[in-house]
Amino acid sequence: MTHPFLARSDSLSCMETTPNSQPRKRTAWWVVVLLAAPYIALCFPGLYARATPALFGFPFFYWYQFAWVILTSVLLYVVYRQFKTR
């Protein structure tokens, strides 16, 4: 008896295609942009490490990062809805 992980690759069901299976859709380019935006926006702290403009007494450095926390949640929800409708 052979171990299922050592089976030949031509017998693996995940590698086979059946007439009823549909090809996977490609990820839309805007989804990749939405997921990359928070990383790129926060990746270079030298660009936003300053005190002005202040918002409600908070320096720019803090409220900029906090705004991205909220914005990232919204972006992730949009991406989630995109994948859920597939």
Write down the pLDDT at residue 29. Answer: 86
Whether residue 21 is contained in a domain is answered as no
Instruction: Assess if residue 14 is contained within a domain.
Output: no
Structural domain count of the chain: 1
17 assigned to some structural domain: no
- Averaged confidence pLDDT in the chain: 82
Any domain includes 10: no
Residue 42 has pLDDT above 80, yes or no: yes
Strand partners, 55: 58
The answer to whether residue 68 sits within a structural domain is yes
Domain-embedded: residue 51: yes
Q: pTM here?
A: 0.65
Q: Is there a domain that residue 6 lies in?
A: no
- CA distance readout (Å), 73 to 35, 46, 63, 86: 10, 24, 16, 21
Structural domain for 59, as ranges: 27-86
